Amino acid sequence: MKAKTPLQQEIIGLSRQLCRLTEAQKRYAFEHCFEHLAHRNAKNVLTCLECGHSWKGGNGLADTLLGVTCPQCGMKLEIAVGRKRIHKDIEYFSIITTCNQYQVIRFFRAACTLKVGLPASYTIFEVAQRWISPDGTSTTVARNRAYSSIYYDLWLSQSKMEIRPNQEHHVYDICPACTYPKQRFIKELKRNGFEGNYHGMRPYDLFMAILGNSRHETLLKAGQISMLRYTLHSPKRLDNYWDSVKICLRNDYAIVDASMWCDYIDMLRQEHKDIRNAHYVCPANLKEAHDKLVEKRNKENLQKKVMDAKSHDEEYRKKKGKFFGLVFTDGTIKIRVLESVVEFMEEGSELHHCVYANKYYEKDNSLIFSATIEGIRMETIEVSLSKMQIVQCRGKHNGISHYHDQILQLMKDNICKISARMSA
């Protein structure tokens, strides 16, 4: 993409003036981006894959666990496991610096090839830069990339560093293995609360957040890191909770677990509690307060379901009341008519079938029985009132129990008692 706006033209110009990597920076990248290996052969001869030097190994187990130091180049090495004689790796290295008024993050692709008996070979070249303005907008300068769904690192090293769309995923997804420790920051970052600690967030994300969103800036300054991290990519979400966050800030209340706290605030809201009241918003024990609300809501939900079920009771009693009290037993199994809609609910939830969900209590032509042994529900039976036949008889998850045949027999033996009530 050609630089079009004056801003883009300025940045492309400045980009060309940025320093090349120094030897010290390259050395740092190669040393810290990659694992450094020693190869061990069957005769316990170790070969440094950095400089190619070989020497006789000591205690095999100790070397494997603790690593070794090459007597020639002084590199700390891990013992390579397996027989592989060539090791290749690609990582990203980043430099955080400033240029004029801009905060700049530079990304370099580093590659290493280690071969037994040869000195290590390293390459590194710059692939992308983020230019962040003090107002929290950014411009991306990057090389072109070969498009492949499998390889994410196919940067075309000969392509130009040009202005690219900010949202390009291959730039956004770069996750450097290491960052050069000497870093420079624009004064606006320091002014907005940044003191050099990224708190596990990506520098680009954190910088953009605290420069572009005053609420994120406030969170960082107040040390509300969990909340900052939780809302870093969705400032809209932060707006939802801001009234309550302000109460926390005023009361010096640390939100330690932002996702749980937001969940808790949501429940307070649904309970019509005052989410600007420190008594609710700043619980001494968040987990306890959160779990208590969850339990209360579960109970209320259940109560609501029971109330709903009860509202159908009168209708059900009108239709099937004349069968109430029907109970048959053979000594082991007890079969009885369900006498309330709450019983349908309990039957359905215990046996995990749809007798309640599909409103069998509303069906005119069917009568529902529950078969139990010592009070434990075994199967549910539907009898057709027009045909005086068993329509279905089902246990847990619509399967059958050990007592299925016995239940069917007991039901068949007593079906005449239903007919007797029909005509009553």
DSSP for 157-192 reads TTS--EEE-TT-HHHHT---SEE-S-----HHHHHT
Of residues 39 and 109, the one with the C-beta less far from Zn ion: 39
Separation between Cα atoms, residue 49 and residue 52, nearest integer Å: 5
In Å, how far are 2, 339, 382, 394, 410 from 399, measured between CA atoms? Answer: 68, 24, 14, 6, 19
Nearest CB to Zn ion, comparing residues 72 and 234? 72
Name residues whose C-beta falls within 8 Å of residue 207's C-beta, 6 or more positions apart in sequence.
103, 105, 132, 136, 189, 194
Give the integer Cα–Cα distance in Å for 135 and 325: 78
Nearest approach in angstroms of CB 157 to Zn ion is 28
Nearer residue to Zn ion within complex by CB, 51 or 306: 51
Residue 19 or residue 66: which is nearer to Zn ion going by CB?
66
Q: Which two tokens stand for residue 55?
A: 């020497």
Could you tell me the smallest distance in angstroms from the CB atom of residue 82 to Zn ion? Answer: 20
The DSSP letter of residue 397 is G
Separation between Cα atoms, residue 68 and residue 365, nearest integer Å: 83
As a whole number of angstroms, the distance between CA 188 and CA 190 comes to 5
**Looking at beta carbons only, is 50 or 343 nearer to Zn ion?**
50
What's the min distance (Å) between Cβ of 75 and Zn ion? Answer: 5
Q: How far is the CB of 118 from Zn ion (least distance, A)?
A: 12
Residue 38 CB, shortest distance to Zn ion, in Å, is 8
Three-state SS for 317? helix
Q: Which is nearer to Zn ion, 114 or 338 (CB)?
A: 114
Q: Are residues 12 and 102 in contact, defined by beta-carbon separation less than 8 angstroms?
A: no
Q: Would the CA dihedral through 413, 418, 421, 423 be positive or negative? A: negative
Q: Reduce the DSSP state of residue 148 to 3 states and report it.
A: coil
Between 46 and 393, name the residue whose CB sits nearer to Zn ion: 46
Look-up of token digits 């053979």: 330
Nearer to Zn ion among residue 73 and residue 385 (C-beta): 73
Report the nearest approach of Zn ion to the CB of residue 74 (Å).
7
Q: How far is the CB of 70 from Zn ion (least distance, A)?
A: 3
Phi and psi angles of residue 132, each rounded to the nearest 5 degrees, phi first: -105, 125
**Alpha-carbon span 186 to 16, nearest angstrom:** 20
User: Is the Cβ of residue 45 or residue 354 nearer to Zn ion in the bound state?
Assistant: 45
Quote the least distance from Cβ 71 to Zn ion, whole Å: 8
Residues that bind Zn ion (CB under 5 A): 48, 50-51, 53, 70, 72-73
Smallest separation, CB 185 to Zn ion (Å): 37
Cα within 13 Å of Cα(292), Cβ side: 9
